[in-house]
Chains A and B, each alone.
Chain A
Amino acid sequence: MTIANAAPRAERGVTASGYLVCLGGIVWRESLRFLHQRGRFLSALVRPLVWLFIFAAGFRATLGVSIIPPYETYVLYEVYIAPGLIAMIQLFNGLQSSLSMVYDREVGAMRILLVSPYPRWYLLVSKLIAGIAVSLLQVYAFLLVAYFWDVQPDDPIGYLTVLPALLLTGFMLGAMGLAMSSVFKQLENFASVMNFVIFPMFFASSALYPLWRVQQASIPLYMICQYNPFTSAVELIRFALYRQVEWTSLAVVAGCSVVFLAAAIFAYDPSTGLTSRRGGPDAAK
């Protein structure tokens, strides 16, 4: 009878190497799923390219961007919006991977994840890291296409210096998605997430236009844009592409990451959590 050796089996749940195995498994699965869903990869790539090829080309003439840091010369509008599009890729990815777990048929996947004996916070962080890995694939594929469109940083080193910024912004946006996925029951499908989260965050930011232009148009809007953490994500990426650190943005992104992650961990903790307040067993299905 195998139950007799149950005690040593219980120990296995918490070994140090087991933690790494667990993280590795989560990242592996996420990447596999991403590679299998060619449609998702394609749309993740096509979406920013539409903005780059069509929107930016069309607006190039109407929207002049004067010399603002980190740019030292006049830059094409395409170059200006590239960091915003990169952040948009990560925003979509972060929300998609977190929300799909809750609203699509994938709920089961979340339940399977949460019956792992590892601590909840560790599982959520692993899930976040997996999401970041996938978003990096998307971002660098975009940067590659943009390179051939002559949208590139002033120095190739920029491709490397942007990496830590991408890790951090990916973390913040992924943690935001996780926190939202546990709290909002109303966001039933991705279309409403687009309407209520992605579009407002994206448009009320420095992604498409420098904030001084917004300031000329409307002071309240300018304030909103300034306090939008997405603006900080965009600026962190923009400066990192030009081998610089924008400290304010770094602080905001790091701070928001911590807050969103704490909210997600709180919400997914069964004892404090909000999962149990969601109105019955059907909410979990």
Chain B
Amino acid sequence: MTIEQQTRAAGSHSEPALSVTGVTHAFGSRKALDDVTLEAPGGAFTALVGQNGAGKTTLFSLITRLYDNRSGSIRVLGYDVRRNPAAALSQLGVVFQSRTLDLELTVLQNLLYHAALHGIGRREAKERAYAALRRVNLDARAKDRVRALSGGQMRRVEIARALLHQPSLLLLDEPTTGLDIGSRRTLIEEVRRLIEEDGIGVLWATHLVDEIEVADRVVVLHKGRVMASGAVDELKARAGTDDVGAAFLAVVGESDAEAAVLSRRALA
């Protein structure tokens, strides 16, 4: 371990849960992300808002190292995902947009598998699995097959799974897709509770503006560029409206480069 790494490890609690700096990513000639810089602090709910195709999933793929970022840097709790992927990934819990549970296996088996992927032995894994399921109020369903659960319950199991290895950053990629209003509210309440109890940092990607309402901070991503970032109230104040949806559209509407730079500077 180099001195630099030691220093970083010792001081890592002061690092933001996630910091993305100057990341550009292109598929062929199409830039999916263009000089993206954003931050998700620990203990806060950060909403990553953007329409479909804004680059949210690409950003998540880079953070989870499905692709490598060719430019800029991505740090999870100070650990660079390229230079120190093991440390970065072990601080990261992910709920992907598509369902990733084994439908044929039980809830508990799904969680034990994930624990094993993080090197957590069987006995400890079982304790943690039940603890995590209690937090999302699903411990009674541990022995049920996932197929028997509702969509909202599956999402909550995925959150429990993402928490098993006690990450510092929780990424959720449009987690409320396909859920009814009641399940959506439950999901959001549970994630808020996690933030308060654990001080975990949450980055919640969504295209539903009403989900910004519950966030502490918001990052607006539009056509691969960060159009605005900061506290939700700041966004509303800047757009001169009390309505989040209108504020979002106002920001996205200023899609010329100058306005984007200005809005970023204003919030810096």
Contacts and interface: CB of A to CB of B under 8 A. Distances in A.
A228 interface: no
Contacts of A28: 113, 116
A6 B168 contact: yes
Nearest to A280: B27
B207 to A, nearest CB: 14
B18 to A, nearest CB: 12
Contacts of B92: 115
Interface in A95-142: 105, 107-109, 111-119, 123
Given A33-B104, A112-B114, A271 B68 contact: yes
A18 interface: yes
Interface string B33-59: 000000000110000000000010110
Contact of A29 (B68, B87, B102, B119): B102
A1 interface: yes
Contacts of B42: 3
Nearest to A114: B66
Given A3-B168, A18-B119, A280 B12 contact: no
Interface residues of A, number: 51
Nearest to A2: B198
B82 interface: yes
B121 A21 contact: yes
Given A2-B166, A275-B66, A108 B98 contact: yes
Interface residues of B, number: 58
A154 B112 CA distance: 44
B90 A9 contact: yes
A68 B65 CA distance: 52
A209 B96 CA distance: 49
B109 A114 contact: no
A109 B100 CA distance: 6
B230 interface: no
Interface of A: 1-4, 6-7, 9-10, 12-15, 17-19, 21-22, 24-26, 28-29, 32-33, 36-37, 105, 107-109, 111-119, 123, 270-271, 273, 275-277, 279-281, 284-285
